Chain A
Amino acid sequence: MAYVGKDIPHDSAIGHVSGESIFIDDIPPARGELLCDFVGSPAAHGKLISVDIEEAKGVAGVVAVLVAKDIPGHNKFGPVVKDERLLVDDVAEFLGAPIVLIAAENRDALREAKKRVKVEMQPLKPIFSIDDAIAAKSFLGPQRVIARGDVEKAIGSSEYTLEGALEVGGQEHFYLESQAAIVYPGEHGAVIVHSSTQHPTEVQSIVAEVIGVPFNKVTVICKRMGGGFGGKETQAAQPAAMAALVATLTKRPARIVYNKDDDMRFTGKRHPFKSWYKVGFDKSGQITALSIDHYSNGGCTVDLSLAVLERAMLHTDNAYYLPNVRITGQVCKTNLPSNTAFRGFGGPQGVANIENIIEEIAIKLGKDSLEVRRCNLYGSEEIDPQIAQIHADSEEKNLRKSAQSADEISSRLETPYGQIVQNNTLPEIFEKLPATSDYEKRRQEIEQFNRRNRWQLRGMSMTPVKFGISFTKRTLNQANALVNIYTDGTVMVSTGGTEMGQGVNTRVRQIVADELGISYDAVIMSATNTDKNNNTSPTAASSGTDLNGAAAADACGRLRNRLAEFAADFVFNDGEAGIAASAENIAFEDGMVWDKRRPDHRMTFEQLVCRAYIERVNLGERGFYATPGVDFNRETGKGHPFLYYTNGAAVSEVLIDRLTGEMKVTRVDLLMDLGNMINPGIDRGQVVGGFIQGLGWVTTEELYYAANGELMSHSPTTYKIPNVGDLPPTFNVALLDNSNNTVSLKRSKAMGEPPLLLGISVWAAVKNALSYASEGEIPKLALPSTGERILMALTSYMKERVAESA
């Protein structure tokens, strides 16, 4: 019986529903344990003049009050550039930047001590917005370019042109479990860190550097996270390092758990973007040239901003062929907490831009945006993979592509960065989804409704996604896994993949069970642990299962081969029956092992491994996987960064109250190509969950700051993620039957991030609705399209009309 392909409940479901799953703050306190918290900068930008901690130290129950100079190792860190400080030692670059770390025996003492710390700062001029950062040339990293063709010339000779700017807002991760860590001091400076992190290896290295010990003295364990969404890729490290510092200096266990308000105020978010574009197109709506300049708000340090920007640039084409194109990108430095990874990792911002442009082209030409999308889609011709690879290689080395291979590839398949789009299922999706969602008929109804109804508006749009799978940083596309078989036939697997609800553990269990031909229940996953799996990549870029599942399968393959050889030689080798030892003929299935030539003669997996153990056969294996063939040169903006693309599309319809701006999503139809799914139930959950998270980003989730840079929407009372009432009343989710993804594990496709980008269809539908009220004018709409923004846009059209008629 195969487990892959089955809707098996989430690995931890039983624990979750009974409240028995353990998260960081559920771990019982250890003897002498201390609670930690910090006092942060009162200014978004300021020079530290003095810190007075004497009074705080005197509070009963307070055990340690620490400042930057107490750090035994390095105070500087950062995933890409070491521009972050654990504790401010000179200049604070965001409001709340930790300055003083306090450890106490109880919460009351902690709270009291915080109040008694005195910080004196000399305020410096802060920058918060992208516009101000551009004006001040306050940037992080270089400007990047991805380009092809002569864009200026092509725009100049286009039949139509449009230009404008789009502002795309940030987004709070709103994982339910806040950033948290517990650190236990060990012998000779070693520490054991329990962290709610997507990237144990990074926590390990930062903790080691901060406390000044080699990596091998730091063990990081992550059992599970109460949500991550990218927010715990790099930014779980700070709380872990703070607790580690306390544990190291006090020799007592230390726990830190941010409260929700602090977590929201002091950690990074999805990057806000502002992009200026100029597009040329013909009367059919086909784009002839696009020039777009992206600026992202990186916050105060680099963190992952350069990679996020890169992915935004690599997704600015989304599903569309752009013959002449120039995409630039620049990260702005501002005095906000450093923005970071968030599901989609820049992809959503890139895609929002091109979808906005498509809507505008449609409005300009008076066409349905679906028609415009269709005529811009990448093609779907079958390509000889070898030629595609040669093509990418030649681009990657920045050579002129050979005339020959260029001819062989239809021109409508090449991305701006030179990768060839293969196995493109979008044309098929564009056939199917409009039909199943009744697009044409509803379009007519909507037009009629909007003509007749003075107080309400309807709008609809279909937007696709083509999401590139792989880390764009080549190194990260690797994973290792450890598979141990015990003599009772049970198996323990550990990988570098961390579980945050997305189901990586469930899928790996399914894969391992199938590879070894044993039952799912015989396999368990260990907590992710840096002493079992070293140098791991973050569980990110939707790649958790692709990478870690493949590494586990590799380990299983080697174990199975070894056991097959053993079985062939020692067990089923039967000269009398005329059966010579033949490892290839050994079958593993349903917990049984046999020689296919003698199916009646079977033994259990447990019996086999017992015998193998007695005969001194190694029953553990490390597996390894490195994604083949991916690379990208960011200097030239060319390469083959993605192993494959995950595709899908959504049709969303909205209803707007013209008098109040209130908007409701009335219907959504979603179609995705996830290849052969490893776990249809979990995969579907990722699709729906991702879509609704995207819906929140484009509608109600708005980050609102006070003039001093303080986030005012810092809790669920003021920051509104989707609620059960926002689940569209009609919500059809379908998956394309497709097994053409030969390059990935079990012909599956990664789906963690792509569906989030389909939330953009809701925003596009709002823009479409507004276009009925704006009467031919292109409505300007920032993202998210809050009720306020909708009402103000509608009001401006009314005013204009009144002014015109006056």
Chain B
Amino acid sequence: MRDFLIIYVNGRRHEVRGRRAFQSLSHFLRYDLGLIGTKVVCAEGDCGSCTVFVGRHEGDKLTYRTVTSCIQFLYQLDCTHIVTIEGLKYDGQLNPVQQAMVKCQGSQCGFCTPGIVVSMCAMFEKKRDVNADDLRGALVGNLCRCTGYDSIVKSGLAVDTTTLRRLDDLYPPDAIVSDLIKTAGESVRVTDQKTFFKAVTIDEAARFRAENPDCMIISGGTDVGVQMNKCLRDPRSILSLAGMQALRGIEVKDDAIVAGANATIAEMEAFTRDVLPEYSRLLYYFGSPPIKNAATIGGNVGNGSPIADSIPAIYAMNGEVELVGTSGSRRVNIHDYYTGYKKTVQKPDELIARVIIPLPKAGETLKLYKISRRKDLDISAFTAAIWMRHRGNSIDDVRIVYGGVAANILRLRQTEDFLRGQAFTLSNLQHAGKIARSEVKPISDVRGSADYRLQLGENILTKFFIDVSGTTSGNGNGWNDGNGNGNGNGHSVDPTLEGIAGEVH
């Protein structure tokens, strides 16, 4: 077992010991290493000014993804290679992205700019031939208050892609990878006033958890990082799951998606693009690229927020959570998993190993909705997941799940009871909306008033009807194509209200 962290920054190896291991990455970069190009604005992952690359070795390669360094802690980053804005020039000269940003006036005050450059470089790592939509997608996590984004998008389109070089070219991976391959399999324990443990096997993790019942589990850290930065949480002992290979991977097994708890939202979004497009579309509106690169499905379920985006679909598809502990593993139906606000049936030594989401079968439809103040990078005010099985033009079975209307994600049983067996018509769905309204008791908060949420709860069933039946006039009847892919042709924007939500704090 190691008692220090190994972290590469811009090609240089650092060993981090003791107290220093407990600071955030942005703090380490700025104040320990003097790499002040990485800016901190919000310290909660929401502005992107602190965006950096994290390279992890996968096999004999280094795979780079962007993260918001303000909510990543050093102890999560053992055996990684961090590349910051300072490390992106080509031999001391501006790279083509930087050149384009200069030429097209992509910066004004310059405070958001390093983060923007990193995000844009990350996009070009993946893809050379980009359009404005690619750029918008890539920059969702980066706020700029000065430019209005237009000149930034134009800069991206003006990049001379022929002269782009890859990170692997700037930082030949061989030496780094051979070091990391040797060390990445080691568990790590750092003790200062606090204790941190990086587990490698499930056994180790369960044991540490049993010995430290108060320990905080950290996966991607996008929830707990914010909580710690805002002084809402100050754990004495921390268990990181980042090194556990057993929790990785996503597959389809027995007509269900089986996702390891460590699967990131980005991986989930990519994986479901073909097998469950509705879920993928929803996850597109989850956070931002750097958040999705860190955030895990296990963390979203483990955090258990009533406005978490990934969860309503798990309810609607009657999914399960697989827990592992010292005495083995068990599967719990999602409906039995939560027992109160952020409370679960998980035992002190258990952790989430997998999340299972059954796929809709022929004749079944799943629709997911996320309503938020701002379309991109926002936490939901209201979410809904509606699953329906139909026979002919009537509703054979239905599950309706709302988020943001109670302390937990809520099944609307009375509304379902009413709809079961009814004809699939606008008036039935409208009537169901009235029942739904009476079934929920939302509160008013910064994301919306109770009245607003009640109205959304009522209207979303009508919305479901028109999305599925593809009517714009409201007189449509019946199923469009039976697969839930019938988007009303009048819906020139946002044919479906993609989305779900998750509470951060």
The interface of chain A, by Cβ under 8 A from chain B, is 7, 9-10, 12-23, 25-26, 28, 111, 173-178, 224-229, 259-261, 452-456, 500-503, 655, 657, 659-662, 664, 666, 681-682, 684-685, 688-693, 700, 702, 704, 712-713, 715-718, 720-727, 731, 733, 786-788, 791-792, 795
Closest 10 CB pairs of A and B: A19-B37, A501-B109, A16-B110, A692-B148, A226-B111, A501-B108, A19-B85, A725-B376, A176-B111, A716-B46
B114 within 8 A of A: yes
CB distance from A47 to the nearest CB of B (A): 28
Of A25, A655, A788, the residue contacting B452 (CB under 8 A) is A788
Interchain CA distance A17-B117 in the complex, whole Å:
7
The reply to whether B371 and A660 contact each other, CB–CB distance below 8 Å, is yes
* B374 / chain A contacts, CB cutoff of 8 Å: 700, 720, 722-723, 725-726
CB distance from B39 to the nearest CB of A (A): 7
Nearest-CB residue, chain B, relative to A259: B43
Known contacts: A13-B102, A18-B89, A704-B446. The answer to whether A685 contacts B147 by CB under 8 A is yes
CB distance from B26 to the nearest CB of A (A): 12
Most A CB contacts (10 A, CB to CB) among B111, B230, B488 go to B111
The reply to whether B143 and A723 contact each other, CB–CB distance below 8 Å, is yes
Interchain CA distance A17-B46 in the complex, whole Å:
20
Known contacts: A455-B490, A788-B449. The answer to whether A724 contacts B149 by CB under 8 A is yes
B362 within 8 A of A: no
Nearest-CB residue, chain A, relative to B155: A17
Of A13, A259, A660, the residue contacting B107 (CB under 8 A) is A13
> Interface stretch among B162-170, B210-218, B350-358, B459-467?
B459-467
Known contacts: A664-B494, A691-B148, A786-B373. The answer to whether A17 contacts B86 by CB under 8 A is no
Number of A-B contacts (CB under 8 A): 264
Binary flags per residue of B434-471, CB closer than 8 Å to A gives 1, else 0: 00000000000111110110011001101100100000
Of B84, B102, B456, B459, the residue contacting A19 (CB under 8 A) is B84
Interchain CA distance A560-B120 in the complex, whole Å:
45
Known contacts: A453-B490, A704-B446. The answer to whether A261 contacts B109 by CB under 8 A is no
The reply to whether B145 and A723 contact each other, CB–CB distance below 8 Å, is no
Known contacts: A9-B105, A26-B36, A175-B145. The answer to whether A727 contacts B150 by CB under 8 A is yes
Of B42, B145, B456, B490, the residue contacting A260 (CB under 8 A) is B42
Of A10, A111, A659, A691, the residue contacting B459 (CB under 8 A) is A659
* B89 / chain A contacts, CB cutoff of 8 Å: 18
The interface of chain B, by Cβ under 8 A from chain A, is 30, 34-39, 41-44, 46-47, 49, 84-86, 88-89, 94, 97-98, 101-114, 117, 135-136, 139-140, 142-153, 226, 230-231, 371, 373-379, 381, 445-449, 451-452, 455-456, 459-460, 462-463, 466, 472-474, 488, 490-494, 497, 504-505
Task: Show 6 residue pairs from A and B whose CB-CB distance is below 8 angstroms, ordered by the A residue.
Answer: A17-B94, A176-B145, A225-B109, A452-B490, A704-B446, A715-B46
The reply to whether A16 and B105 contact each other, CB–CB distance below 8 Å, is no
12 further interface pairs, Cβ-Cβ under 8 Å (given A723-B377, A724-B140): A9-B103, A19-B86, A178-B41, A454-B472, A455-B466, A456-B491, A660-B497, A688-B151, A691-B148, A716-B46, A727-B136, A787-B373
The reply to whether A176 and B109 contact each other, CB–CB distance below 8 Å, is yes
Known contacts: A18-B89, A692-B149. The answer to whether A454 contacts B473 by CB under 8 A is yes
The reply to whether B112 and A662 contact each other, CB–CB distance below 8 Å, is no
Known contacts: A685-B151, A727-B149, A792-B451. The answer to whether A17 contacts B491 by CB under 8 A is no
* B153 / chain A contacts, CB cutoff of 8 Å: 724, 727
Interchain CA distance A124-B102 in the complex, whole Å:
53
CB distance from B420 to the nearest CB of A (A): 23
The reply to whether B452 and A792 contact each other, CB–CB distance below 8 Å, is yes
Nearest-CB residue, chain A, relative to B382: A660
Interchain CA distance A17-B94 in the complex, whole Å:
8
Interchain CA distance A229-B146 in the complex, whole Å:
9
The reply to whether A731 and B105 contact each other, CB–CB distance below 8 Å, is no
Nearest-CB residue, chain B, relative to A787: B373
* A733 / chain B contacts, CB cutoff of 8 Å: 150
Known contacts: A176-B41, A660-B459, A662-B497. The answer to whether A716 contacts B373 by CB under 8 A is no
The reply to whether A174 and B113 contact each other, CB–CB distance below 8 Å, is no
The reply to whether B114 and A19 contact each other, CB–CB distance below 8 Å, is yes
Nearest-CB residue, chain B, relative to A454: B474
Interchain CA distance A455-B495 in the complex, whole Å:
11
CB distance from A107 to the nearest CB of B (A): 9
* B226 / chain A contacts, CB cutoff of 8 Å: 717
The reply to whether B463 and A22 contact each other, CB–CB distance below 8 Å, is no
* A17 / chain B contacts, CB cutoff of 8 Å: 94, 97-98, 101-102, 106-107, 113-114, 117
The reply to whether B140 and A224 contact each other, CB–CB distance below 8 Å, is no
* A502 / chain B contacts, CB cutoff of 8 Å: 108
The reply to whether B148 and A722 contact each other, CB–CB distance below 8 Å, is yes
Interchain CA distance A502-B491 in the complex, whole Å:
39
Nearest-CB residue, chain B, relative to A755: B148
The reply to whether B448 and A788 contact each other, CB–CB distance below 8 Å, is yes
Interchain CA distance A213-B231 in the complex, whole Å:
39
Interchain CA distance A727-B153 in the complex, whole Å:
10
Known contacts: A260-B41, A666-B493, A717-B379. The answer to whether A177 contacts B109 by CB under 8 A is yes
Nearest-CB residue, chain A, relative to B102: A13
Interchain CA distance A725-B505 in the complex, whole Å:
24
Interchain CA distance A23-B117 in the complex, whole Å:
18
Of B373, B452, B462, the residue contacting A659 (CB under 8 A) is B462
Nearest-CB residue, chain B, relative to A229: B145
Most B CB contacts (10 A, CB to CB) among A14, A19, A720 go to A19
The reply to whether A718 and B460 contact each other, CB–CB distance below 8 Å, is no
Interchain CA distance A178-B46 in the complex, whole Å:
15
CB distance from B101 to the nearest CB of A (A): 5
* B152 / chain A contacts, CB cutoff of 8 Å: 724
Known contacts: A10-B107, A716-B47. The answer to whether A689 contacts B146 by CB under 8 A is yes
Nearest-CB residue, chain A, relative to B447: A718
Interchain CA distance A657-B488 in the complex, whole Å:
12
CB distance from B460 to the nearest CB of A (A): 7
* B44 / chain A contacts, CB cutoff of 8 Å: 715-717
* B112 / chain A contacts, CB cutoff of 8 Å: 176
Known contacts: A17-B98, A657-B497, A660-B460. The answer to whether A12 contacts B46 by CB under 8 A is no
The reply to whether A452 and B375 contact each other, CB–CB distance below 8 Å, is no
Interchain CA distance A178-B139 in the complex, whole Å:
22
Known contacts: A13-B102, A23-B111, A723-B377. The answer to whether A664 contacts B493 by CB under 8 A is yes
